[in-house]
A and B are shown apart, each in its own frame.
Chain A
Amino acid sequence: MTMLARTALAAGLSLLGLVPALAQTKAPLTILRVIDADRYDPVRSTATSASEVLFMLADTLVSLDFDMKTVKPLLAKSWTASADGRTYTFDLRQDVKFCDGRPMTAEDVVYSLKRWIDPATRSPVASRAGKVKDIRATDDHTVVYELQEPFSDLLYQLTQSFGSVVDKNTVEKLGQNFGVQGFNATGPYCWVSWTPRQDLVLKKNPHYNWGPPIYKNPKPEIDQIIWKVVPEANTLMAAMQARQADITYYPPLFSIDTMQRVPGLKVQQQKDYIYDVFFAFRVNKPVSSDPAIRRAANMAVNKDAIVKAIYFGRGTPLHSLLSPTVLDYDAKAAAMMPAFDPAGAAKVLDEAGWTPGPDGIRVKDGQKATFVVYGIRDDQNPRISEAMQADLRKVGIDMRIQLWDATVAWGKLATQEFDAFMLSYPYGTATEALNLYFKSTQAPTPNRMNWKDEKTDQLIDAAATATDPAKRKEANAETQRLLTAANVWIPLVTRQMWVVSGDRVEGVRPHGLYGAGLYKGLDLSLKR
């Protein structure tokens, strides 16, 4: 058949409506974000930008409900814990398949979880798995997770992307390039391609029908999803308004009011979201090791003003070490947190022997009250740090700011060069937050403060291994009081999660586990 005849036939069939499928193809769902991840290997990347995609690409044994507290089934239909809290037995679904169609078995789960804790993997998040004695498959659909000591946070940690079940064959084939050049797991969406710092393309997993019960529809409805990186706030906002994208949960905070007024855009907030911004002192450096400096700095910083001016009111000032909504939050510890009081801060410094020098900066024993803070250069950090700098200068403390691009910041934050740092982190329980940042075994990262205190270690261990919730709560409370009194951190703001979606997409509901606003990406559908 000649080219002309083929074209004429195709045009005729189109006109007769015999090829409607072509006409009905919907454009992919486009999600905008501001930053990309370094890789998408669940056990090697700790970035939120990795987790938010990994939740769609892979599944975990258990899932987390929208309340950010309740653990629900996912790959495991059910589970039991032994009375001593050391052994968990998971009964797996038997209908799960990888993207390449291979059925998932208990051996795949064991392989993935062991890879997480294997020292050879050098996972920065291995400690989140607890002190594992053994993980084994007793049959094709039963996994036994045995611990050396009880770990009260285990189920919550198993909801995180770090415990994702991945395909052993693909991991071994790609080696270090797993999650860079390809991926294979049992998530609702499958890996198509990744162009770093530009976009990541996913397609529907055709086998998937085992979504967690927190969703109405266990199957994905979207054929293709494109995660697009748009680092510049104004461009991102304009793209949403022009309908060049469907969803973002990285709207610039100043734009929330505007977005709410734009017809066709839906703006939703996740009320149970916990993602705190904090400022931390390195306690083994000359100036920041002085408790008086740390206390005075805590009193000098006006958190309310920061939230109002820099977060445009779209944040919550953090007047306690941990968010008041978190499990095991301690109100007594919060009451110990110094309130904003610049005059009181100056008095604390006077009493500690820090006297104002000729340039207004305080001096003690020939040492100037100067320190260097490191942080990531994002939308808020430059402004927060400058506001803090101005507040601290008023009481005679000179804070020098060094902010780094996200690509080099993590490397810089792993050095011993700085005296203080600013970061933000998502967490779900007090045990998780305290265990992550304050245990001496977590130094030098993520315990970049180098806070090494025997009492703190004992309390954190007591909370982590408690089988009685009351004992866990008490241990966590005491740790919060101890750390609040030492002013190791200046807690600043609890961020808010705002999800903006266009009128082409339906079923958007903010989640927020580890900062992932869309979690599994289920219940989403496109109107056109």
Chain B
Amino acid sequence: MSNPVALTPEASPHAAFAVTARPSVVRFLLREPASAVALVVVVLLVLAALFAPWLAPTDPYAGDLANTLKAPGDGFLLGTDGQGRDMVTRLLFGLRMTLMMSLVAVVIGCGLGGLVGFAAAYYPRLSGLLMRLMDVLLSFPAILFGLALTAIVGPGLTAVLVALSIATIPLMARVVRGAAIVVLQQDYIEAARALGMGDARILTKYVLLNCLSPIFVFVTLRFGQVILLGSLLSFIGLGAQPPTAELGAMASDGRNFLFFAPHVSVLPSLLIFVVVLAFNVLGDGLRDALDPRMRR
């Protein structure tokens, strides 16, 4: 019997990098000022979203029509919205909802897209069919998916989640297939096959681990895009329904007051901008950090 130790992930340079290099990735990110700021901002935003119920000064749904459209500082730190609700509270809960919505859509979309990508790479006979299917999905913009789903199931987070997930699947499938094909051509994969390893084991133990770098980068960048798309769908009324706080919906609600209470629309829009920028910069940083050539 052969020695399985010789074929552990550490046996290949890519796998070794994927498993052992994480602390150095963080160090690399922190060395780059833009990436460091983005990382800190993302961590702070995620913490704010996680602890929103404890950080928020008021109930996010308790309106007070006697105190509508108060300017920032006029008894409320960031003012109030058209229902007299505290903007700090609404922004915290809006951020929480936006991040949660994007996370679920990215997890579902990337999960399914990853499976399709690995299957297409590993089983060449399936590749044609699966990737043409992905091409069909790619031909529909996410907004169109959102509109079509809304017409069927009605506006709401479900429609947005499904639309964003479906829009993510083909993109992820392409990234994963490309990365997996490169890995599958390596000698250690051939060796694993020669040793009689099963498909599942080869895929999880070698292919997946060696594709983690592009996957991480894609997921981080896609997260920012999904936030923007989700906010856009909510902005046009297809996403979160009242009274749910969601950044896109909040920006949309404030449109009518732009001339005399701009904070109602500007603050959530600004927050979307910061979140998306932070995730994009972090994604770029990760790409550099995970690229051995850049690390040298």
A contact residues vs B (CB 8 Å cutoff): 232-234, 237, 252, 254-255, 258, 302, 305-306, 308-310, 377, 379, 382-383, 385-387, 389-390, 393, 400-405, 408, 412
Contacts and interface: CB of A to CB of B under 8 A. Distances in A.
14 contacts: A232-B255, A233-B255, A237-B259, A306-B65, A308-B65, A309-B66, A309-B82, A310-B65, A310-B82, A377-B237, A390-B62, A390-B83, A402-B154, A408-B151
A403 B237 contact: yes
A125 B259 CA distance: 40
A405 B237 contact: yes
B257 A254 contact: yes
Contact of B83 (A233, A255, A387, A402): A387
Contacts of A305: 65-66
Contacts of B256: 233-234, 252, 254, 379
Interface in B34-74: 61-63, 65-66, 68
B83 A386 contact: yes
B65 A309 contact: yes
Nearest to A380: B256
Interface string B212-246: 00000000000000000000000001000111000
A163 to B, nearest CB: 35
Nearest to A383: B82
Interface of B, helix, strand, loop or mixed by DSSP: loop
Contacts of A403: 155, 237, 241-242
B59 to A, nearest CB: 10
Contacts of A232: 255
Contact of B242 (A310, A389, A412): A389
Contacts of B260: 254
B242 A386 contact: yes
A393 B83 contact: no
A116 B112 CA distance: 55
Interface in B59-97: 61-63, 65-66, 68, 82-84
Given A233-B255, A305-B66, 5 more contacts: A254-B259, A302-B65, A383-B253, A386-B243, A401-B242
A234 B255 contact: yes
Contacts of B257: 254
A254 B260 CA distance: 9
A491 B68 CA distance: 23
B62 A234 contact: no
B68 A309 contact: yes
A284 B156 CA distance: 25
B181 to A, nearest CB: 44
A390 B82 contact: no
Most chain A Cβ neighbours within 10 Å, of B156, B255, B259:
B259
A382 B237 CA distance: 10
A306 B65 CA distance: 7
A402 B243 contact: no
Nearest to A385: B242
Interface in B253-286: 253, 255-260
Contacts of A408: 151
Contacts of A237: 259
A234 B66 contact: no
A34 B75 CA distance: 35
Contacts of A309: 65-66, 68, 82-84
B63 A390 contact: yes
Contacts of B66: 305, 309
The 6 closest A-B pairs by CB, nearest first: A305-B65, A390-B63, A309-B65, A386-B242, A309-B68, A401-B242
B4 to A, nearest CB: 55
Contact of A402 (B63, B68, B155): B155
Contacts of B241: 400-403
A302 B83 CA distance: 13
B155 A404 contact: yes
Contacts of B82: 309-310, 383
B259 A234 contact: yes
Contacts of B253: 382-383
A390 B258 contact: no
A402 B238 CA distance: 10
Contacts of A254: 256-257, 259-260
B27 to A, nearest CB: 47
Contacts of A233: 255-256
A405 B238 CA distance: 9
A426 to B, nearest CB: 23
Interface string B125-144: 00000000000000000000
Nearest to B66: A305
A255 B256 CA distance: 10
B246 to A, nearest CB: 13
B61 A393 contact: yes
Contacts of A387: 63, 65, 83
Nearest to A404: B155
Contacts of B63: 386-387, 390
A398 to B, nearest CB: 11
A262 B237 CA distance: 33
Contacts of A389: 242-243
A402 B237 CA distance: 10
B139 to A, nearest CB: 24
A255 B260 CA distance: 10
A390 B243 contact: yes
Contacts of A405: 237
